[in-house]
């Protein structure tokens, strides 16, 4: 699909008929892909751990929220670039509050508004939905009058979800635990390395040896060397198991303290980190 230019009413109706921005699970298709629109920073395409499909994100902050959502046990599904349908509803909300509805550039065609992440949750066996909007603080700072238009569009989105009784939250880099997200990003490769799945049989012995070697003064590399010597695994194989153990919450690592480096001690969590949602 080419970048969307000169969008007509017929284009929008076709996209809606194709099911873009609708559905659930592995069959969900975002309303737009990274190739369709200009990105806000570095765009990303990433294979989802929970959905098994490729997710499309337009900024580092969106991707950080994806990582945090994947790490959250209560999150069962993630839908990005979710279309706010029916198409006419956001237009009606805008009219009611005297807000100019966004249009596609260079046209009079009303934009199909979207939410950055729609999360399917299961808490205490009860399913629910939560919506996350992600923006740099510089774009939503209420003190800056240049942000009034962005805040108007966010207000339309917020009202859309409030009508459905679904919680909506706006997150900026001030609220997103970026160190945690960076650690999860660095360790995520170990969750998708299917060729090393055979190492999972060694997880129990790895955890036993890692915990017994885990000291406040020992560097991560020193611990890996000890564990490798005791288990007969290589340091790379132990590093793989460490990454998986962190993602699976089998080790009480403080992911918010600092970015984990091989030449520094691994920070131990003194308390549970705050939930993302």
Residues serving a catalytic function are 62, 72, 116, 135
Cβ atoms of 80 and 28 within 8 Å: the answer is no
> In 3D, which of 264, 217, 211, 198 has the Cα closest to residue 242?
211
> Cα-Cα-Cα-Cα dihedral of 219, 221, 225, 227, to 10°?
70
d(Cα 102, Cα 97) in Å, to the nearest integer?
14
Q: Report the sign of the C-alpha dihedral through residues 206, 207, 210, 212, in that order.
A: negative
* Residue in the structure block whose two tokens are 């459905």: 164
The tally of CA atoms less than 13 A away on the side-chain side of residue 73 is: 9
State the first-to-last Cα distance of the chain, in angstroms, to the nearest integer.
33
Q: Which helix (H) or strand (E) holds 28?
A: none
The tally of CA atoms less than 13 A away on the side-chain side of residue 175 is: 15
Three-class SS state of 155 = helix
> In 3D, which of 87, 77, 78, 83 has the Cα closest to residue 20?
83
81: its two tokens: 């670039």
248: its two tokens: 């699976």
């Amino acid at each position: 699909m080419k970048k969307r230019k000169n969008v007509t009413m017929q284009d929008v109706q076709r996209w809606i008929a194709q099911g873009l921005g609708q559905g659930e699970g592995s069959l969900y298709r975002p309303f737009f892909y990274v190739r369709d629109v200009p990105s806000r920073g570095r765009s990303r395409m990433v294979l989802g751990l929970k959905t098994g499909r490729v997710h499309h994100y337009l900024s580092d902050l969106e991707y950080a929220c994806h990582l945090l959502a994947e790490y959250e046990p209560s999150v069962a599904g993630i839908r990005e670039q979710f279309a706010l349908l029916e198409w006419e509803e956001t237009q009606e909300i805008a009219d009611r509050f005297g807000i100019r509805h966004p249009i596609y550039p260079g046209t009079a065609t009303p934009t199909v508004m979207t939410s950055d992440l729609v999360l399917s949750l299961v808490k205490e066996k009860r399913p629910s939905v939560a919506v996350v909007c992600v923006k740099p603080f510089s774009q939503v700072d209420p003190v800056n009058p240049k942000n009034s238009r962005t805040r108007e569009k966010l207000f339309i989105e917020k009202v859309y979800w409030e009508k459905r009784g679904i919680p909506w939250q706006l997150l900026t880099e001030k609220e997103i635990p970026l160190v945690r997200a960076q650690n999860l990003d660095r360790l995520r490769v170990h969750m998708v390395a299917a060729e090393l799945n055979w190492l999972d049989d060694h997880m129990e012995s790895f955890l036993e040896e890692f915990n017994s070697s885990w000291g406040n003064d020992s560097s991560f590399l020193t611990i890996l060397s000890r564990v490798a010597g005791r288990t007969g695994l290589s340091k790379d194989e132990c590093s793989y198991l460490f990454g998986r153990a962190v993602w699976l919450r089998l080790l009480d690592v403080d992911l918010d303290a600092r970015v984990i480096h091989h030449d520094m001690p691994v920070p131990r969590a003194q308390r549970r980190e705050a939930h993302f949602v």
